[in-house]
Amino acid sequence: MRTIAAAVTLLLLALAQAHAHGEATHERAEWTLDPWILTPLLVSASLYAAGVFVLWRRAGWGRGIQPWQVAAYVFGWLALTTALVSPLHWLGEHLFTFHMIEHEIVMVLAAPLIAASRPLGALLWGLPKRFRIGMGLLLRTRLAAQLWRFLTRPVNAMVLHGVAIWIWHAPLLFDAAVTHDPVHRLQHLSFLLTALLFWWSLIRRADYGVALGHLFVTMLHTSVLGALMALAPRVLYQVQTADAPSWGLTPLEDQQLAGVMMWVPAGTVYAGAALAFAALWISHSDKPIVSAGTIEERAR
């Protein structure tokens, strides 16, 4: 509790200091209109909406894709847009703490919501018929099927996601992402894609006990990484923390607060998801063991 209180206090002090600096600081805080970010977001939203409309028109309202899945996709898309397009993205380029918040929104909020929504079907139905048939044939090829099974095998998805997190938090690469837009885009893309694979594998392929174990491992190694940043005696991310004094923080305090954000709030989300899988595991322990299946199918 002391750690959380200290983190909240430091964050509030940073925000108060930013306001005290006057209009000069906030004139630059604006929405990110990067076409490399906006275009995929708008295209994915358009395709999903069109796909749901076409599918429900043909199969009936709520069939094929359930309303709660549409809601999950909408909220996941909004969370992703908030992280990558809203002023939070600009703030993350100037304060490590906000950058960490941005990453956690992508990986532990947007990704699980989008994965739970089962978006692939809707996105395919949103394509023109010719492209939809072509994509369907491509996805049914042996190579594509084998690659998908490999990537979504729970242990593989967990390792890929963990590797992406640790590699990109190497100080050299993290600082490079702050100074070079293409590197920054690649960083966010790898976080999002590996997080989608990770959560999709737990929701769609893993048994409850397996999902619980993988969430525990992920919570453990991300907490270790957060603790390393929070407890480091010196500044590791020189470029990322360079603007911290203008927010009322020293570079080391900014790094420590960023580490706490990964350590505590993100760890809490993983722990909550693990408890949910544990509850499902216990509630189904008296039933015959079923091989990998979906949460939605078991809940019906």
pTM attached to this predicted model: 0.85
Q: What is the pLDDT along the chain (300 residues), one digit of tens a residue?
A: 444 444 445 554 544 454 444 333 444 668 888 999 999 999 999 999 999 999 888 888 878 889 999 999 999 999 999 999 999 999 998 999 999 999 999 999 999 999 999 898 888 888 888 787 888 778 888 888 899 999 999 999 999 999 999 999 999 999 999 999 999 999 999 999 999 999 999 999 889 999 999 999 999 999 999 999 999 999 999 999 999 999 999 999 999 999 999 999 999 999 999 999 999 998 877 655 444 454 444 444
Give me the DSSP letters along 138-206: HHTSHHHHHHHHHHTSHHHHHHHHHHHHHHHTSHHHHHHHHH-HHHHHHHHHHHHHHHHHHHHIIIIIS
Q: Which H or E run includes 72?
A: helix 67-84
User: How far apart, in whole angstroms, are the C-alpha atoms of residue 17 and residue 100?
Assistant: 19
Evaluate whether residue 280 is within a structural domain. yes
Terminal-residue alpha carbon distance, the chain: 39
Evaluate whether residue 26 is within a structural domain. no
Evaluate whether residue 139 is within a structural domain. yes
Evaluate whether residue 135 is within a structural domain. yes
Q: Which residues form the domain of 205?
A: 2-21+31-299
Q: Which H or E run includes 97?
A: helix 96-105
Query: Closest by alpha carbon to 74, among 48, 108, 56?
Result: 48
Residue with tokens 């099927």: 145
Evaluate whether residue 70 is within a structural domain. yes
Evaluate whether residue 104 is within a structural domain. yes
Domains: count for the chain = 1
The answer to whether the CB of 97 falls within 8 A of the CB of 26 is no
Evaluate whether residue 50 is within a structural domain. yes
Query: Closest by alpha carbon to 237, among 172, 179, 186?
Result: 172
Evaluate whether residue 285 is within a structural domain. yes
Query: Closest by alpha carbon to 229, among 207, 266, 254?
Result: 254
